[in-house]
Chains A and B, each alone.
Chain A
Amino acid sequence: GAVVSQHPSWVICKSGTSVKIECRSLDFQATTMFWYRQFPKQSLMLMATSNEGSKATYEQGVEKDKFLINHASLTLSTLTVTSAHPEDSSFYICSARDFGGVNTEAFFGQGTRLTVV
């Protein structure tokens, strides 16, 4: 099956710094990528939908100036957590959908564990 690579797998950063997480579709073109956040023992919360070549669509309550999303190509989307604080510590997962449309399978990255100290 298709592979989505997410990098880094884990990162520790100091409070106030910014962290960039990459999500790449390795063998297919992803016009749409999704970014999720997951707290321990909880569901994946959809943060935003990233469309190649256009601005991301953020879910209600997600600060777009804090979580910057860039989808510059059909194989790469990035999430930058700006001025990170300890409450931003979480597990972030990206998902990429193959070119075929909204009902085709989505493939998930392995997730990034962010710890802000």
Chain B
Amino acid sequence: NAGVTQTPKFRILKIGQSMTLQCAQDMNHNYMYWYRQDPGMGLKLIYYSVGAGITDKGEVPNGYNVSRSTTEDFPLRLELAAPSQTSVYFCASRGGSSGNTIYFGEGSWLTVV
């Protein structure tokens, strides 16, 4: 059981470039989330989805976009990368037999230079 899978694990972007962080879960979870983690700040919610076709903003959505065309996938897109988006990004999911427990992927380390 793969759980929550994030790709890539590491990426360096130049300012102004675009990229997509991929997230997939194989647990048939309805709820999916994207968080970013900055040193000393804990994790902040970027976007979340309660099911296919439904997305909503979290605490820090500016500079990001998401889509949820299938239950399994929840990609996070950065359109014009900025140094402030240098962070560690975590995808997570919840649902089914996991109840209210949220399970996290292993993270994607992004550096914008």
**A and B found bound together:** no
